[in-house]
Amino acid sequence: MIDKTIDKSLRWVDDRLGVAKGGRTFLDKIFPDHWSFMLGEIALYSFVVLLVTGVFLSLYYIPSAHEVVYHGSYIPLRGQKVSEAYASTVGLSFDVRSGLLMRQAHHWAADIFLGSIAVHMARVFFTGAFRKPREFNWIVGVTMLILGIVNGFLGYSLPDDLVSGTGIRIAYSIIESIPLVGSYIAFFLFGGNYPGNGLIIPRFFIIHVLIVPLVLIGLLAAHLGLLVKQKHTQFPGKGKTEHNVVGSPMFPTFMAKTTGFLFMVTAVLFLLGGFAQINPIWQFGQYEPYQISYAVQPDWYMGWLDGALRIMPSWEWVGWGHTIPLEVFLPAVIFPGIIFNILIVWPFIESRYTKDLAYHNILDRPRDRPKRTGAGAAMLTLLGMTFFASSTDVLANFFQLPLKDVLWFFRIAVVVSPIIAYVVAYKICLEMRAAEGIGKRKRAVVIARSESGEYSTIETAPRPGDGSAELDAIPVPTFIDLVPPELATDEGVRRVMR
Amino acid sequence: MTDGPRLEGPLPPAALDDPHLTPYAKHPERAQAVAAIAMVVGFLAFIAFGVAYWVDASTQWEAATLGVGLLFLGFGVTAWGKYLMPQGPFVEERHAFHSTEAEREAMTAAITERGGMVVKRRKLLGGLFLLGSTAMGLVLMFPLIRSLGPKPGETLFVTNWKKGSKLVTIDGREVSADDLEVGGVLTVFPKGFTGSSPDQVILLRLSQTLQPLTPPGRTDWGVLGYVAYSKMCTHLGCPVGLYQEQTQQLVCPCHQSIFDVAAGAIPQFGPAPRPLPQLPITVDATGILVAQGGFNQPVGPGFWERS
């Protein structure tokens, strides 16, 4: 009955759009299985949660710096003059049912969105998945990372609380530090000298909820479209070549697994949103440009920039009637500029260096490319060091050390530690390559103990994915039918029609 | 990459017990039971979420019910996919997606030759189109960018502090000479501009014995041990809000720049490049603290136009 309906409706659509051929190919599309291929899915599903919770928040949030008197249910704030943005954020947290859950899940989703992008990107980098023909997708991915960081910062700024307001102040000064045009850009963006004409919140709002998400959705479509067109890369293994993809089919296996994963990622984000308090703006209070609190740290993905600002020496260049605040411009504009540019052009740097112009659909094991692995380790170490440098004050307190020593530690560490990381990673790769059999999946062995206390090993039956006895891959069968009950064996074997 | 073999026509028959289609689970019934239980738990948790919402339970209850629902339903579906659906391995051939050499040449030719025919011979039209669209791009910058805000002009160089401006607190209360004990600090603004960001000033009362340390030419910028500095950090404009009385240092909580207030607020540590601008103050006939004039330098972080 349902089959007939599906057949009829498919015919109707196919008459008009011709979807059957491509649709069938799509359902048969093969996705290789590896845990590391799910990292990008975490980012994708966090983005879905961001969109849904974000729409919810936008129904209650008022993007306005207009001053109002708070009358909501949070007693310590009652009667205080606050901005509408702040009041509405506190309001949607306390006076809208499920509002706090949605808001905190949104914030957690943003942090995890960027975190999973970073880890996904590291996977793509270390396995060489960015090589020809996937350079476009690498660039699309880096662009999404940059936009994600920008949008995270903008969203973080919208509640107009004391901590995020300080962040906006810093952003203003960073823009101002750009030679020649900096103060003009800052004045245009903010509508005047800091804090501007009160339009920065509505401006950030429209960039945060419309412009960047629109671009992100477009890039995301391109990212997935390119993935479908170019097909997923795969790790080397039995029957896996540069000319095929081995794995499980889109429908039903992959679809079931990935739908389940969507639910589970969402579950984690909402559990965090409900149990792990994040950004309690009612404790920080309304932003005032002359107030500040101690130990101000931005969200994690801005940490590397904040750390770079902290450890930069106070080198301001003055001459010919002009000033270049290098102590801001270098760490906050040039440094991220260099990092992102290196990331974007990396596939081309590498192919120029290796003179490798071939197509690559089989992934590298990181150990087999010691120089790339070393370079990636150096980059991660550099960014990790600048990230930790954003908590110099906290670390100095924790370890009871003079702030000066902590600062100098990081100044030296950002230069020295990437070099050490490169050498160590390089050496580890060489060692691992030299050892035989490392990383190969072995067949499970059961150790049994007999009644007399004797131990013996029993080899288990081969399973798909065992290093020793992998099945040969076959094309996806036309359809899979359950064996009629009278033919079924005890093991529930299914009949195949191809 | 070469074109892999394409599978066309009817596919070959497969054995009845093809291992590619047997479920991954050793005991499919058990796997099904686990998945079913998970989905039932998920279903019940969603119902519980509905109840939690209905009775307006706490955020934690909402998260627990919704989270458990999503987690278990997701787990059930994943287990169904992983343990009960055919795992293969299945294979799909990759096909080269680049075009043939002839197709590439045809595409290039279409651009260059047609372009040669109708564009290169009409250089005037091409030039005029470029001219027009460039002009459009430039003039559109006015509404799209220039309208956004005023030009910086002199605003970064001046504040609202003038000769005779009374120092007032954030509540607008005038500050008199006996308001602060030695070691006390207060954030003040010029009267009429309370809360204004560039005008924020940190007023400190130091022990008068430290007066000789103030830079030459500024000995009379303070009065009765009072000195006033811009509260905007010269690094990134954060309020320099932490005062350590023992060492007479102002600390910026953002990036830990430290300024020595007893010696003209010169930066002693951290990324701040310049001293905090000083506001010359004195006490008027009624005992109220007033400014002798504006700051000795532009306030806040560095920018290009500054000399």
Residue of chain A minimizing CA distance to B75: A260
What is the value of pTM for the model shown? 0.90
Q: Is residue B197 assigned to a domain?
A: yes
Residue of chain A minimizing CA distance to B96: A243
A59: CB partners within 8 A, 6+ apart:
none
Beta-carbon-side half-sphere exposure of residue A384 (alpha carbons within 13 Å): 12
- A-chain CB neighbours of B81 within 8 Å are 252-257, 259-260
B189 and B275 both lie in a single domain: yes
Distance between CA A37 and CA A31 in Å, rounded? 9
pLDDT at A470: 61
Tell me the C-alpha to C-alpha distance, in Å, between residue B88 and each of A85, B14, B18, B22: 54, 13, 10, 9
* Count of CB atoms situated within 10 Å of the CB of B134: 10
Query: Mean pLDDT over residues B115-137, rounded?
Result: 87
Structure tokens, A2:
């349902």
Please indicate whether, in this complex, the C-beta atoms of B195 and A289 are within 8 angstroms of each other: yes
Structure tokens, B195:
């809360």
B219 and B263 both lie in a single domain: yes
Q: Is residue B306 assigned to a domain?
A: no
Please indicate whether, in this complex, the C-beta atoms of B256 and A403 are within 8 angstroms of each other: yes
Distance between CA A70 and CA A76 in Å, rounded? 10
Is the separation of the CB atoms in A134 and A125 below 8 Å?
A: no
Is the separation of the CB atoms in A327 and B235 below 8 Å?
A: yes
What value of ipTM does the predicted structure carry?
0.89
Please indicate whether, in this complex, the C-beta atoms of B254 and A296 are within 8 angstroms of each other: yes
Position B87 confidence tier, pLDDT thresholds 50, 70, 90: confident
Positions in chain A whose pLDDT score sits under 70 = 295, 437-444, 460-470, 477-498
Q: Is residue B162 assigned to a domain?
A: no
Minimal Cα–Cα distance from A86 to chain B, Å?
A: 17
B199 and B111 both lie in a single domain: no
B133 and B72 both lie in a single domain: no
- A-chain CB neighbours of B64 within 8 Å are 271, 274-275
**Between A17 and B8, residue with greater pLDDT:** A17
Q: Which of A38, A106, A314 to mutate to probe the B interface, most B CBs <10 Å?
A: A314
pLDDT at A443: 64
Local structure of residue B288 (DSSP, 8 states): B
pLDDT at B19: 72
Please indicate whether, in this complex, the C-beta atoms of A290 and B304 are within 8 angstroms of each other: no
User: Has residue B15 got a pLDDT over 60?
Assistant: no
Bridge partners (DSSP) of residue B237 are none
B143 and B172 both lie in a single domain: no
Minimal Cα–Cα distance from A424 to chain B, Å?
A: 32
Where does A2-78 show beta strands of DSSP type E? 30-31, 67-69
Helix, strand, or coil (residue A440): coil
B108 and B75 both lie in a single domain: no
User: Has residue B112 got a pLDDT over 70?
Assistant: yes
Please state which of the ranges A161-170, B108-117, B165-174 shows the lowest mean pLDDT: B108-117
Local structure of residue A252 (DSSP, 8 states): I
pLDDT at A295: 64
Please indicate whether, in this complex, the C-beta atoms of A271 and B267 are within 8 angstroms of each other: no
Tell me the C-alpha to C-alpha distance, in Å, between residue A209 and each of A101, A102, A200, A204, A389: 19, 16, 14, 9, 31
B183: CB partners within 8 A, 6+ apart:
B205, B206, B207, B245
Q: How many domains does chain B have?
A: 3
Please indicate whether, in this complex, the C-beta atoms of B88 and A246 are within 8 angstroms of each other: yes
Concatenating the DSSP letter of every residue in B113-141 gives HHIIIIIGGGHHHHHHHHHHHHHHHHHHH
* Count of CB atoms situated within 10 Å of the CB of B153: 12
Partner-chain residue, chosen from B74, B89, B195, that has the shortest CB–CB distance to A263:
B74
pLDDT at A495: 38
Q: Is residue B55 assigned to a domain?
A: yes
Q: Where in chain A is the domain with CATH 1.20.810.10?
A: 33-303
pLDDT at A442: 63
User: Has residue B13 got a pLDDT over 50?
Assistant: no
Across A200-229, b (16+ Cβ under 10 Å) vs e yields bbebbbebbbeebbeebeebbebbeebeee
B271 and B173 both lie in a single domain: yes
Partner-chain residue, chosen from B76, B91, B269, that has the shortest CB–CB distance to A30:
B91
Distance between CA A273 and CA B63 in Å, rounded? 7
Distance between CA B234 and CA B272 in Å, rounded? 6
B80 and B105 both lie in a single domain: no
Structure tokens, B27:
């005991």
Sheet of B185-190, strand order: B167-168, B185-190, B201-205, B226-230, B278-279
Question: By percentage, how much of chain B surpasses pLDDT 70?
Answer: 92
pLDDT at B6: 44
Distance between CA A114 and CA A108 in Å, rounded? 10
Partner-chain residue, chosen from A245, A288, A309, that has the shortest CB–CB distance to B271:
A309
B174 and B235 both lie in a single domain: yes
Q: Is residue B155 assigned to a domain?
A: no
Q: Is residue B302 assigned to a domain?
A: no
Structure tokens, A87:
């009041």
B120 and B172 both lie in a single domain: no
User: Has residue B4 got a pLDDT over 60?
Assistant: no
* Count of CB atoms situated within 10 Å of the CB of A324: 22
| Spatial CA neighbour of A99 closest among A58, A151, A152 | A58
Burial class (CB in 10 A: 0-12, 13-18, 19+), A6: exposed
Determine the structural domain holding residue B56 and report its residue range.
28-84
Partner-chain residue, chosen from A257, A321, A473, that has the shortest CB–CB distance to B78:
A257
Q: Which of B27, B68, B92 to mutate to probe the A interface, most A CBs <10 Å?
A: B92
pLDDT at A362: 93
Q: pLDDT tens across B286-302, in order?
A: 889 999 988 989 999 99
Is the separation of the CB atoms in A156 and A170 below 8 Å?
A: no
Tell me the C-alpha to C-alpha distance, in Å, between residue B220 and each of B212, B228, B279: 10, 12, 11
Helix, strand, or coil (residue A445): strand
B220 and B139 both lie in a single domain: no
Residue reference for tokens 């004797």: A454
Is the separation of the CB atoms in B165 and B291 below 8 Å?
A: yes
Length of chain A: 498
Q: Is residue B22 assigned to a domain?
A: no
Where does A301-374 show beta strands of DSSP type E? 317-319, 322-324
Please indicate whether, in this complex, the C-beta atoms of A29 and B87 are within 8 angstroms of each other: no
Helix, strand, or coil (residue A277): coil
CATH number of A33-303: 1.20.810.10
Across B218-255, b (16+ Cβ under 10 Å) vs e yields eeebbbbbbbbbbbbbbbbbbbbbebeeeebbbbbbbb
| Residue B221 belongs to domain with CATH number | 2.102.10.10
Q: Is residue B117 assigned to a domain?
A: yes
